[in-house]
Amino acid sequence: MRSHELDYEIMGDDIQIVEIELDPGEIVVAEAGAMNYMEDDITFEAKMGDGTTADEGIMGKLLGAGKRALTGESIFMTHFKNNGSSGKRRVAFAAPYPGKIIAVNLADIGGELLCQKDAFLCAALGTEVSIAFNKKFGTGIFGGEGFILQRLRGDGMVFVHAGGTVIKKELRNESLRIDTGCIVAFQPDIDYSIEQAGNLKSMVFGGEGLFLATLRGTGTVMLQSMPFARLADRIIKQAGTAGGGRRQGEGSILGQLGNMLDGS
């Protein structure tokens, strides 16, 4: 199934929106709850699946829904269609946390992309959204991405989101060592493994964790500067220290001074 051709514009800096322009009859598939606004003549329907296998039957749909549940996503996807006949209409989708939306034309990268399990935002109808299992036990346990990745297949536009600043690296038969949580997406021909982060002292006191991800091969790799789990952990820690009227500054001395001045 060939993907619908989408025109789009990504707007904003920190919490971005991608605005999709649909011709009459065109459809974009998105994660449940991602829609920000839509114009007249745009209709939407929640479905089990991405619409690439219309004849798969109820058991096939339930199996696909079960696989999506493993990634922590909703078992339903929302299909937005321009049902008008008088021209183009627009629908927009927002990133769920601060970061960037990345537009990827699957036709330009061999038709397939592996990404972290919560990275997918929306895509042209005709894109297969499924899951991939890490075959290496150590990678699944210590890799930060777990055993399950999202697999995007097709020949059209897909949009994924990531935290902070996004960097694209092009590997040419080389390797790259990365903090395990900072991987957003990579091409399937790249080998993904986990290696020990230095000697015992470095592992315990270096602050970089016990393991690093290593990507080897030739292809495109996308990295994020602020994984959502790291951002959430920082917020939780700050919220915990804020209980009972206390506060914590970036420097412990200033934090204690502030508590003294306000009587805490």
- Return the half-sphere exposure (C-beta side, CA atoms, 13 A cut-off) of residue 168: 10
Specify the pLDDT at position 139.
46
- Which residues, 6+ apart, have CB-to-CB distance to 163 below 8 Å? 97, 98, 99, 224, 225, 226, 227, 228, 230, 231
pLDDT tens track, the chain, 264 positions? 688 889 999 999 888 999 999 999 999 999 988 999 999 999 999 988 777 765 555 555 555 555 555 555 567 889 999 999 889 999 999 988 889 999 999 999 999 999 987 889 999 999 998 887 655 544 445 444 445 788 999 999 999 999 989 999 999 999 998 887 888 999 999 988 877 665 555 545 544 556 778 899 999 999 999 888 788 888 888 786 655 545 444 444 445 544 544 444
- Locate all alpha helices (DSSP H) within the chain, ordered by sequence: 57-70, 137-142, 200-205, 228-241, 252-261
Which position has the token pair 């959502």?
228
Instruction: Give the per-residue pLDDT at 249.
Output: 47
Q: What is the pLDDT of residue 262?
A: 46
Domains of the chain and CATH, by start:
7-229 (3.60.160.10)
The pLDDT of residue 232: 81
| pLDDT on residue 55 | 58
